[in-house]
Amino acid sequence: AITGYSRWWRSIIDPTLHALRTVPGLAWIPMFILWFGIDEGSKVGLIAKASFFPVYLNFMSGIARADRKLIEVGEMYGFGTWDLARRIYMPAATPNLFTGLRTGLSVAWMFLVAAELLAATKGVGYLLMVGRETSRPDIVLAAILVLAIMGKLSDSILKFFETRALKWRDSLESRFQ
């Protein structure tokens, strides 16, 4: 939020985050395994790292692109920093935040599978690997089907919360609900 609000903070924080973002996600797997072991900790760390950037970029741009006219009206009404954040910046950034969350969720599913393919003894990614190694397309297809169902279910849950949180918005999508 602070990088979207302040150019100064963005100039300090953003270059480092963008440098880390450009490193391919799979390149982090050995480091996370060294840091957290082959257990769940490395998977959680890798998924958190991978899904952070879509959420960060979308949320920051939502705040940075808040309507200047609304900000000026809020200032004319005497809104302080916290009131501006709560009543103008956050509502302006919420659509972008949900876009980032949904994108981050899909990235999280990809990295869960990638982490389990490379270093796991259980899980859907591990099941994919076992199916491949034993030449069992039925196991591979079952794992893909499980991933598709879990991905769609989790996205639908997030979409449900997005629709409820953004009921106030006057958009083309709201005309059809």
3-state secondary structure string across 26-53: HHHHHHHHHHHCCCHHHHHHHHHHHHHH
Say what the pLDDT of residue 171 is.
64
Q: Is the dihedral of CA 154, 155, 157, 162 positive or negative?
A: positive
Looking at residue 119, its pLDDT comes to 67
Give the single-character DSSP code of 168.
Answer: T
Contacting residues for 55 by C-beta, under 8 A, at least 6 apart: 97, 100, 101, 103, 104
* CA atoms of 8 and 103, how far apart (whole Å): 27
Say what the pLDDT of residue 116 is.
Answer: 79
Q: Cα(89)–Cα(6) distance, rounded to whole angstroms?
A: 12
- Within 10 Å of residue 114's Cβ, how many Cβ atoms? 18
Task: Kindly list the averaged pLDDT for each block of 10 residues, start to end, along the chain of length 177.
Answer: 84 89 84 82 86 93 91 93 91 93 93 79 85 92 94 95 84 58
